[in-house]
Structure 1
Amino acid sequence: MALSPLIRRSALPFLAAVLLAGVLTPAAEAGAPRDREIEKMVRQVDARNLGRIIAKLASFGTRHTLSSQDDPVRGIGAARDWIYDEFTRIAATSGGRMTVQKQSFVQPVSPRIPAPTMITNVVATLRGTQDAAAGRTYVVSGHYDSRCSDVMNATCDAPGANDDASGVAVAIEAARVMATRTFDATVVFMAVAGEEQGLYGSAYYAQQAKQSNTDIQGMFTNDIVGSADGENGREPGAVRVFSEGVPTSETPAQAAVRQSIGGENDGVSRQLARFVHETAEQYVPWFDARLYYRRDRYLRGGDQIPFLQQGYAAVRFTEVHENYLHQHQDVRVEDGVQYGDLLRFVEPDYVARVAQVNLAALAALARAPRSPGRAAIVTSRLTNDTDLRWEAGPEPDVAGYEVVWRATTEPLWTHSRFVGNVTSYRVEGLSKDNFQFGVRAVDEQGHRSPVSHPTPAS
């Protein structure tokens, strides 16, 4: 059973008593409290508004990266300007906390880029309000470029309603709901271009973030989240959440440590995916944020990959059953079958459920403390106990820490123990050989951070 992502302040004395009693606390006994403001945000997600956004983006004819940048009604430039205006209207409701920019750069001649081409990401940033947390950033994105069967055809109709107007709509809707609220950490809502040509927009953003030492603690990309229908079935109650276990950016030294402790299922992106799943269980119980233990679909990719390459935690959301008659296809009828990524194949109610999961997870992340730094299992002595230590978090409202564990074959954390506002703890009678351990921070309101997976230390 998954751990709930939040814990009431009133539950802390109970957990402390459990700790003193020396009882191993199953996750189910930790209670299921909720942040009432996050509950309100989830309820405010509007399927009609999502449908409006998707319809508008599909109306530009094509949004191909190589299409017109200055035609006011057709092409990627018209779509870019409309998204910018939409974010700007939302920012006006934020009390000055949200700013919007066009992040433009010239992509040189590259695979699928035959001539130097201006690519623009549209970025809305909702600044965090807690001094100790405002530098910590979470990103949610979709890509607004589209394509036909021939990835180099920049003039054919490519409405891209599902791929990926649906993902852009999720980012815009999350911005609309969150803009009027305050969060400790900073949240970035982004529509990127150049994805179909080679992930160029997201790669530029991630590179710039790394060069400027931006502390991105989590990134969500929503790509093809518009329909419950696929060629092999219908599943309106779930979305796939893809995450890598072994980090793309892992060094040889880090690989050697991972291999020696069995950490292939506990990279930072896998911890982020678990957090998404647990938060969805808490706030969107009618919809399954289903974990998939892959970086992406088989031999495929998306805008999370450039973030992974820079060492950031990132996951991808995609509908459970894709329909390849409607993806990367010229709009046409052939042998009585309709091809093309048309608006009529998108289900706004389904997109709304995906948006609710994104919003709940983003809000929970941005209100929680950061994950504990430098988490470690002390290996200076041979013992059947497990000694953990970690660094104290910088936020002034940290109430303490939870140690979590699971059997090595379990996909989710199954047990937790609140250990107080300390930076070390001994779990007596549980061997690090038989369990995976982690530690997470809890603030005074009960918000929990994602889990930090410890590495060995003497």
Structure 2
Amino acid sequence: MRLRLAALACLPAMSALAQTAPVPPAASAEARLAAIGTAPSAARIEADIRKLVSFGTRHTLSDTRSDTRGIGAARRWVFEEFQRISKDCGGCLEVRYVSGTIAGEKRIPDPVEVVNVIAIQRGSSDPNRFVLMSGDIDSRVSDVMNATADAPGANDDASGVAGTLEAARILSKQKFAGSIVYAALSGEEQGLFGGKILAEHALKQGWRVEAVLNNDMIGNSRGLNGVNDNHSVRVFSDGTRVTETAEEARQRRFTGGEIDSPSRNLARYIARMSAYVPNLEVMMVYRLDRFGRGGHHRPFNDVGFPAVRVMETNEHYDRQHQDLRTEHGRVYGDTLDGVDFDYAARITALNAVSLAGMALAPPPPAQVGIEGAVTADTTLTWARPPAGQAGNLAGYKLYWRLTTEPQWSRSRYVGDVTQATLQNVVIDNYFFGVAAVAKDGSESPVVFPGAAGSFGAY
């Protein structure tokens, strides 16, 4: 896989492997990924956002029977749009509703069916491994319980749903080893219920979820802080696995991993994949979400899945969760004039190349272990997946970086083995990881050793 970083020198000198270093596969996937990185259409995204805004409000408690207004009409349109996309690819998408009834909650006191719309593009060789992109259907105004007032939700989050639809249009034209899920989630503003429902569904179905990319507001390039920026995007990621045990936490204290959870290494992967998207830089934010706020990636984190929030860099708070009004010359409301469609297309491209890269690659290595205390060398071990899950596997690549570096800066391809030693690379001075490499050169995210970094049992 092409890296934003220059070809990474392996310093200091490496082991005996240096004399017989295996040759990495040719990066034949690069052209394919580069094409995906410029494929999203701002015009199509604009049309989808306008359609979603036309439903007046998409509040979770709004009308479900009307064909023109409310959450029911909006989700039926999304369902039909996924079906149209599937028809264009010969029925390659499984389009379905995934729902649950919520009641007795502060923001949903009476029983309400919260309905997600998903489309599954099955992988050709590893169909039970999933990468997922999502946006939120629902919208709101100042009063979170006001289900009747106009709530356009043009940026929050018609932009995320439109991006998800556009990614489906692009990627459904191709085939991948792993499966891709495109999801329009509901109930976010009322308590992240759509994400909880889909995360529980994934667990019940036994999905091996490698990544969740939650897109919540990807269309505003002008912040309330006065900054105009359509060339950067934030990726928020949680630092430690919520599901770790007390013993795993004790081990992490001594071996590291606080900034190398699977979600963090998913964020690093997305940042590297921005090399395929012209004029876009990723700002990795080492925090679950914005300060004191939440998003639909969190329910997936809560059950142990790697998940991140992808969003604009500079928010305009007058355009979020506001009644439509003008006060003292100041305009409030999440309307179409606040959306930069070209910017939304660029962030959609980042999602699409990240999904494609992971779906092309073999599954991330499992059972990654590390040894090297009181020696000059560092040895990493890992397990191959079952052959049926990784028919495209070429081998593995070791990564390491200084403990203060945000991104993996050194690497070495070691071939189709399950153990490798880096001679004279002292374990105390670096963080280490392993990625799986496909025959076309595409790579999985890097996996940090131990439970702290595990993407799951593959």
- Against the structure 1 CA distance between its residues 80 and 6, is the aligned structure 2 distance closer, same or farther, given a 3 Å change threshold? farther
Partner amino acid for 1:402? K
Task: Please give the alpha-carbon distance, in whole angstroms, between the structure 2 residues aligned to 1:372 and 1:6.
Answer: 24
Q: Does 1:450 align with 2:445?
A: yes
List per-residue Cα deviations over 1:114-172 (Å, max 9, x = no partner).
Answer: 21001110000001111xx2110011000010000000000111000000000001110
* Aligned residue in 1 for 2:117: 122
* Aligned residue in 2 for 1:221: 214
- Against the structure 1 CA distance between its residues 183 and 34, is the aligned structure 2 distance closer, same or farther, given a 3 Å change threshold? closer
Task: Please give the alpha-carbon distance, in whole angstroms, between the structure 2 residues aligned to 1:370 and 1:419.
Answer: 17
Matched residue SS, 1:265: coil
Larger displacement relative to structure 2 (39-48 or 84-93)? 39-48
* Aligned residue in 1 for 2:375: 383
Partner amino acid for 1:160? G
1:87-106 alignment to 2 at 5 Å? 87-106=82-101
Q: Does 1:410 align with 2:405?
A: yes
Shift of 1:33: 6.9
Q: Is the 8 A contact 2:27 2:440 kept in 1?
A: no
* Aligned residue in 2 for 1:271: 265
List per-residue Cα deviations over 1:13-38 (Å, max 9, x = no partner).
Answer: xxx99953489x9xxx9998752222
Shift of 1:448: 0.9
Shift of 1:180: 1.5
* Aligned residue in 1 for 2:241: 247
Q: Is the 8 A contact 2:15 2:423 kept in 1?
A: no
Residue 69 of structure 1: which of 55, 64, 80 is its match? 64
Partner amino acid for 1:385? D
* Aligned residue in 2 for 1:302: 295
Shift of 1:77: 0.6
1:12-51 alignment to 2 at 5 Å? 19-21=17-19, 35-51=30-46
Partner amino acid for 1:368? A
1:51-450 alignment to 2 at 5 Å? 51-130=46-125, 133-232=126-225, 233-281=227-275, 283-378=276-371, 382-394=374-386, 395-450=390-445
Partner amino acid for 2:66? D
Q: Is the 8 A contact 1:364 1:447 kept in 2?
A: yes
Q: Is the 8 A contact 1:94 1:180 kept in 2?
A: yes
Matched residue SS, 2:437: strand
Task: Please give the alpha-carbon distance, in whole angstroms, between the structure 2 residues aligned to 1:17 and 1:45.
Answer: 44
Partner amino acid for 1:295? L
Task: Please give the alpha-carbon distance, in whole angstroms, between the structure 2 residues aligned to 1:359 and 1:344.
Answer: 25
Shift of 1:398: 1.1
Q: Is the 8 A contact 2:217 2:311 kept in 1?
A: yes
Matched residue SS, 1:205: helix
How well do the aligned residues superpose, as a CA RMSD in angstroms? 2.3
Matched residue SS, 2:283: strand
Q: Is the 8 A contact 1:95 1:180 kept in 2?
A: no
Matched residue SS, 1:44: coil
Task: Please give the alpha-carbon distance, in whole angstroms, between the structure 2 residues aligned to 1:145 and 1:226.
Answer: 16
Task: Please give the alpha-carbon distance, in whole angstroms, between the structure 2 residues aligned to 1:448 and 1:329.
Answer: 42
Shift of 1:72: 1.1
Shift of 1:333: 1.1
Partner amino acid for 1:85? E
Shift of 1:105: 1.9
Task: Please give the alpha-carbon distance, in whole angstroms, between the structure 2 residues aligned to 1:230 and 1:418.
Answer: 42
Partner amino acid for 1:384? A
Gaps of 5+ in 2: 8-13, 452-458
TM-score (norm 2): 0.92
Matched residue SS, 1:43: coil
Task: Please give the alpha-carbon distance, in whole angstroms, between the structure 1 residues aligned to 2:100 and 2:27.
Answer: 46
Identity %: 42
Partner amino acid for 1:354? I
Task: Please give the alpha-carbon distance, in whole angstroms, between the structure 2 residues aligned to 1:22 and 1:396.
Answer: 25
Task: Please give the alpha-carbon distance, in whole angstroms, between the structure 2 residues aligned to 1:337 and 1:438.
Answer: 50
Task: Please give the alpha-carbon distance, in whole angstroms, between the structure 1 residues aligned to 2:78 and 2:450.
Answer: 43
- Against the structure 1 CA distance between its residues 188 and 198, is the aligned structure 2 distance closer, same or farther, given a 3 Å change threshold? same
Pairs aligned (count): 439
TM-score (norm 1): 0.92
